[in-house]
Each structure stands twice: as C-alpha cells, then as structure tokens.
Structure 1
C-alpha cells in the first residue's frame, strides 16, 4: 500500500506532476495500470 505525500504543506510551493502507476505480480510481471487508477483526497481542491 503506497501513498503520495503532499509536500506543499511543508514548502508552501504547489507542484503538479504527471504520474504513471505500475503493479508487479508475484511472478515478476510489470504492468502499467495508470488508466485503471484514480486519486482520492479528503480535500478535493488538491487534485487536478
């Protein structure tokens, strides 16, 4: 279980960056699941 940390609260600087999301199976296969992923936040204004 991985999370992305919002560093703007530490630096005061807004950063916007595209990401890709990958999974690795037990067999070692890597797959791009970016299109099947979504972001959630208690503060929806931080999501683009």
Structure 2
C-alpha cells in the first residue's frame, strides 16, 4: 500500500492539472470569481 500511495501522487497528472487551472483562472478570470468561472473557463478553452 505504501508504494501505491507514493506512486499515486507521483504521476505528472496531478501536478500539471492544478497548475494549468490556477494559471488560467487569474489570467482569464478575476480572483473573486475563481471558483465560479473555473467551469466555464475550462469549457471555453478547448472550444
């Protein structure tokens, strides 16, 4: 179990995912509307 726990957070998926979201939020949305604009921003980016 220790190996699985260490490998789970190790993958690059969790790191780049939050980083990209955090960068897109302040750039395309205001700090006050970070959470509410997170969903529409993510959908608008690929579109």
* Band the TM-score falls in, shorter-chain normalisation: under 0.3
Q: Which has the higher strand share?
A: 1
Higher RCO (CA < 8 A, seq sep 6+): 2
Q: Which has the higher helix share?
A: 2
Superposition TM-score, scaled by structure 2 size: 0.24
Superposition TM-score, scaled by structure 1 size: 0.24
